Amino acid sequence: GENVGLHLPTLSVQEGDNSIINCAYSNSASDYFIWYKQESGKGPQFIIDIRSNMDKRQGQRVTVLLNKTVKHLSLQIAATQPGDSAVYFCAENYGGATNKLIFGTGTLLAVQP
């Protein structure tokens, strides 16, 4: 049955602060990574992606860092806003003949006004 009482890891930040959400991925052969934002009652929304031949990529207010040595991915959000409150999932793509994504467990970002 349901794992009653399961809690998502939570990051609580003050509005205007920078946020860093971390993710450990599982497969050293993964060559494409995506961060998704999922607001309550909605589907995952693409934020930013990065390929394994890069270690940093910047978007609008967001930066993704990739450390292949330790299989670690992070999402940095600058000047966090209340609208950033959501669950954030990292996803890795094993590549090869499929486009199969494997999602991390997710982090709940709670922005305090």
Partner 1 sequence: DTEVTQTPKHLVMGMTNKKSLKCEQHMGHRAMYWYKQKAKKPPELMFVYSYEKLSINESVPSRFSPECPNSSLLNLHLHALQPEDSALYLCASSPPWGTLETQYFGPGTRLLVL
Q: Which is nearer to partner 1, 96 or 113 (CB)?
A: 96
Place of tokens 């040595």: 69
Please state the closest distance from residue 30 (CB atom) to partner 1, in A. Answer: 10
**Contacting residues for 38 by C-beta, under 8 A, at least 6 apart:** 44, 45, 86, 87, 88, 89, 106
Q: Which residues bind partner 1 (CB under 8 A)?
A: 1-2, 6-8, 31-32, 34, 36, 41-46, 49, 51, 89, 93, 95, 97-101, 103-106
Please state the closest distance from residue 99 (CB atom) to partner 1, in A. Answer: 5
Q: Say if CB 75 and CB 85 are below 8 A apart.
A: no
Please state the closest distance from residue 107 (CB atom) to partner 1, in A. Answer: 11
